[in-house]
Amino acid sequence: MADAILRAEGISKWFGGVAALQDVDFEIAPGEHAALVGDNGAGKSTLVKVLTGAERPDGGRIWFDGQERHFHSPLDARRAGIETVYQTLALADHLDVVANLFLGREKYRVRLGPFSVLNRSAMRAEARKMLESTGVHIPDLRSSVMGMSGGQRQGVAIARAAGMGSQVIVLDEPTAALGVQETARVEEIIRGLKRRGVTMLMVSHNLRQVFDLVDTIWVLRHGQMVGRRDTSEVSPEEIVSMITGADRVTGLEFT
Amino acid sequence: MTRQTAVPDAAAAPAPGPASAGDERLARTRLLNQLVVRPELGSVLGAVLVFVLFSVVTDRFLTPSGVATWLDDSATLGIMAVAVSLLMIGGEFDLSAGVMTASTSLVTAIFATQLGWNTWAALAASLVFALLVGFLNGWLVMRTGLPSFIITLASFLMLQGLNLGVTRLMTGTVQVSGMRSAAGYASSGFVFASTMDIGGTTIQVSILWWLLVTAVASWVLMRTPFGNWIFAVGGSSASARAVGVPVTRTKILLFMTTATAAWLVGSINILRFTTAQANQGIGLELQFIVAAVVGGCLLTGGFGSAVGAAVGALIFGMARQGIVFARWESDWFQLFLGAMLLAAVLVNNAFRRRAERVRR
C-alpha cells in the first residue's frame, strides 16, 4: 500500500540465538487506528521498539512518511513524528503538568543553550489547549504529576504525544495499570484521537478494548506476524485462536 | 507545584468558579498548601529555631560582628551545598567535592608559587583542572552505569592521594605557602577574598559569592529548561531519556558544576589564607550532603531546592559559631549536627507526605 504512513517490511530481530521477530511486515495508513496483539513473548514490544527507534532491527526496512528511515534512537523517531507512550508512562513525577508536557522541547523566551529562559506563560496556554483538545481534564496545571491518578497521568502522557504535531502515536498497553473507570476515560481519549484523525498504534492484551477502539488488528505469534484482520470482519474467537495457534490443534497449545 | 514561586503564578492562574464567600478560605488553604510543598520549609523552620536559641543563650550571636562571623562560616559551605543540591536533585552524589576544594587550592598555589605563574593564570589552570575532574566523574558515572557514590568515592581517594603526593613532590612538605608574593595576588584577592566594611563590621566577600551562587542556582532550577531536566533526570532518568531530555549531558554538567563550585571555594580559601594544606577538605563532602538534605533534597533525587541547601548551610554556620559563642565544648557540635539532620529529615518527610496528599 503506497499510502501507508508507517510501513515495515521483513523486520527481523535476534536476541542472542533467539529470534524475537522473523520477517515481520506491518503497515498503518494515515488516520488509522491499529492494534498489535499476541501472547507474552510474541514479539509485540520488540516490534514497537523497532518501529519507534528503541531497538535497531537486524533485518528489514522501515518507511515513514514516504521515505525509508533508519531510526537510531527514540528521539530520532520522535523528531520524525512518531510519538510513543510507554507502559511506564515516561512522566517526571516531581515536575508539574506543564513542565511534563514540554519536557525536552521547552518553549523559550531567550535561547541560551541549556540556560535559556523558559516562556512559562506561553507553555501554560498551549498546555491548556493540548489537554482540552485531547479531552483530558486536569483541574490544576501547576500540580506535580506525582499525586495524580493513573488515568490522569496516562491522559497527560497521551496529550503530550498527541499535541506535538506528531503523525503517529504508539501506545504501549495504555490501560494495563488502570481501574475500570480510568480505563473508560483513557479509551474515550483514544476515541477522541480517532475523531481528530490522529494515527494510532496500540499494544494491548485487552481484546474487548481492541475491538472497541481500532480498525485493524495485527496478530503476532512466536515472533511471526500471523495475520492482519479488519475489526469489522473478524470475531474475537478467531483472534484468540490466531494468538494461541489453537486453530491448528483445537484446544490449548503449550509452548 | 513544588517548583512554583507563588505570587506571579497565582495571579496568572484562572479563577475557577464564581466568586463566593468560600473563595477566601480556599485561597488561604491553597497558600498554606503551597507553603507546605516547598522543599525548603523544614530548613527555614530549623534555621529560625537555631537562630532564636543562640540569640537567647549568647550575647555575641546577634551583634554585627557575631552575625558576620556565622555568615562567613556558612558561606563557603553554602556555595558547595547549593551545587551539591543541584547534583542530588539530579539523582547523583559527589563524594570528591570536599577534597576538591583542597585540590583546587593546591593547584592554584603550586602554579603560582612553584612555577611562578600569575595568580590569574594559576586560577584558570585550576579551573580547567576542576572542570576536567568534574567531567571525568560524570562521564564515568554515565559510561559505566555504576552508582556515583562508588565512582566519586574512587576519585575522592585518588584526589586525596594526589594532593599529598604532588604537594610533597613539589615542596618537600605537605603545604604550599607564599601566595602573597605571587603576581596578580592583589587583584585576584580582591575578587575572591577581600572584605568590606559595613558600619564598622568586617564582611567577607565570600558571603556575596554564596548569595550569588544561591540566586543563580535557584533561578536555573526554577526558570530554565536545564532546571526542568535536572528534576526529570533525578526523578527517573529512563523516563527523562524517553521523552528526549539529554540525560548524559545534564548529569555531566551537574558534576562539572560541583567541581566548579569547589574551584570557587578553593580559590576563596587559597587567596584568603595564602597557604594550602594538602590534607584539607576531607570530610567536608558529608557536610555538603547534610546541608543539602536538611534543605529538603531527597537522597533518591528528583526533589529538593537550592535555597534550602543554602539555608541548611546557614544552620551549620550558626550552630558551629553559636556553640563557640556560648562557650560550650565544641564536642557537642557533632551531636547537634546529627540531631539536626534527623529532625530535618523527619520534618521534610512529614511535609512531603502531606504535600502528596494535598495534590490529589
- Whether A207 and A184 have beta carbons less than 8 Å apart is answered as no
Residue B321 to residues B52, B194, B204, B205, B280: CA-CA distances in angstroms? 14, 21, 16, 18, 20
Residues of chain A scoring pLDDT < 70: 1-2, 87-90, 114, 247-255
Instruction: Give the N- to C-terminal CA distance of chain B in Å, as an integer.
Output: 12
Q: Do B9 and A94 touch (CB under 8 A)?
A: no
Helix (H, G, I), strand (E, B) or coil at B200: coil
On the 0-12 / 13-18 / 19+ scale of CB atoms within 10 A, B189 is buried
**Mean pLDDT score of chain B:** 87
Q: Which three cell numbers stand for residue A212?
A: 472497541
**How far is residue A194's CA from residue A209's CA, in Å, rounded to a whole number?**
14
Q: Of A213, A163, A215, A216, give the one whose Cα is nearest residue A184.
A: A213
pLDDT for the residue B330:
82
pLDDT for the residue B346:
87
Q: Backbone dihedral region of B100: left (phi > 0), alpha (psi from -120 to 50 degrees) or beta?
A: alpha
Please list every residue in chain B whose beta carbon sits closer than 8 Å to the beta carbon of residue A75.
244
Q: How many helices (H) and strands (E) does chain B have?
A: 15, 4
Tell me the per-residue pLDDT of B177-201, one tens digit each, with 9 for 90 and over. Answer: 989 999 999 999 999 999 988 888 8
Q: Domain for residue A158, yes or no? A: yes
Residue written as cell 521483513? A10
Q: Domain for residue A250, yes or no? A: no
Q: Across chain A, which distance is largest between two alpha carbons, in Å?
A: 66
Residue B166 to residues A40, A181, B106, B122, B273: CA-CA distances in angstroms? 59, 67, 9, 16, 20
Please list every residue in chain B whose beta carbon sits closer than 8 Å to the beta carbon of residue A142.
1, 4, 9, 13
Q: Does the pLDDT of residue B153 top 50, yes or no?
A: yes
Q: Domain for residue A54, yes or no? A: yes
Q: Domain for residue A15, yes or no? A: yes
Q: Of A158, A119, A123, give the one whose Cα is nearest residue A137.
A: A158
Q: Do B236 and A92 touch (CB under 8 A)?
A: yes
**How far is residue B228's CA from residue B3's CA, in Å, rounded to a whole number?**
9
Tell me the per-residue pLDDT of B200-213, one tens digit each, with 9 for 90 and over. Answer: 888 999 999 999 99
pTM: 0.82
**C-alpha neighbours within 13 Å on the C-beta side of residue B349:** 8
Domain count, chain A: 1
Range of the domain at A101: 6-244
Out of A88, A93, A96, whose CB is closest to B302? A93
Q: Which three cell numbers stand for residue B266?
A: 578553593
Band of pLDDT at residue B355, cut at 50, 70 and 90: low
CATH number of the domain encompassing residue A31: 3.40.50.300
pLDDT for the residue B95:
96
**How far is residue A107's CA from residue B41's CA, in Å, rounded to a whole number?**
30
Task: Quote the distance between the C-alpha of residue A3 and its chain's center.
Answer: 20
Amino acid at B11: A
Question: Which residue ranges make up each domain of chain B?
Answer: 41-359
Which chain A residue lies closest to B89 (C-alpha atoms)? A94
pLDDT: which is higher, A71 or B1: A71
Tell me the per-residue pLDDT of A84-95, one tens digit each, with 9 for 90 and over. Answer: 887 666 688 888
Q: Of B233, B247, B289, B257, give the one whose Cα is nearest residue B135.
A: B257
Q: Does the pLDDT of residue B222 top 70, yes or no?
A: yes
**How far is residue B8's CA from residue A206's CA, in Å, rounded to a whole number?**
45
Q: Does the pLDDT of residue B105 top 50, yes or no?
A: yes
Tell me the per-residue pLDDT of B258-317, one tens digit each, with 9 for 90 and over. Answer: 999 999 999 999 999 999 999 999 999 999 999 999 999 988 888 899 999 999 999 999
Band of pLDDT at residue B161, cut at 50, 70 and 90: very high
Chain B nearest-CA distance from A163, in A, is: 13
Q: Do B243 and A90 touch (CB under 8 A)?
A: yes
Chain A neighbours among B 237-296 (CB < 8 Å)?
A: 238-245, 249-250, 253
Q: Which three cell numbers stand for residue A2?
A: 503506497
Which chain B residue lies closest to A164 (C-alpha atoms)? B243
Amino acid at B39: P
- Helix, strand, coil: what percent of chain B each, to 5? 75, 5, 20
pLDDT for the residue A249:
47
- What is the CATH number that goes with domain B41-359? 1.10.3470
**How far is residue B360's CA from residue B355's CA, in Å, rounded to a whole number?**
9
Q: Which three cell numbers stand for residue A130?
A: 493540548
**How far is residue A131's CA from residue A141's CA, in Å, rounded to a whole number?**
10
Please list every residue in chain A whose beta carbon sits closer than 8 Å to the beta carbon of residue B250.
114
Q: Does the pLDDT of residue B360 top 50, yes or no?
A: no
Q: CB atoms < 10 A from the CB of B291, how many?
A: 31
Q: Domain for residue A63, yes or no? A: yes
Q: Which of A224-228, B129-133, B348-352 tops mean pLDDT?
A: B129-133
Q: Domain for residue A255, yes or no? A: no
Chain A neighbours among B 166-225 (CB < 8 Å)?
A: 220, 223-225
Q: How many helices (H) and strands (E) does chain A have?
A: 9, 12
**How far is residue A108's CA from residue A118's CA, in Å, rounded to a whole number?**
5
**How far is residue B111's CA from residue B100's CA, in Å, rounded to a whole number?**
16
- Whether A92 and A100 have beta carbons less than 8 Å apart is answered as yes
Q: Does the pLDDT of residue B22 top 50, yes or no?
A: no
Tell me the per-residue pLDDT of B136-146, one tens digit each, with 9 for 90 and over. Answer: 999 999 999 99
Q: Domain for residue A254, yes or no? A: no
**How far is residue B309's CA from residue B51's CA, in Å, rounded to a whole number?**
17
ipTM surpasses cut 0.85: no
Band of pLDDT at residue B4, cut at 50, 70 and 90: very low
**How far is residue B332's CA from residue A227's CA, in Å, rounded to a whole number?**
75
Q: Of B210, B247, B97, B251, give the one whose Cα is nearest residue B159.
A: B97
Residue written as cell 477502539? A213
**How far is residue B291's CA from residue B298's CA, in Å, rounded to a whole number?**
12
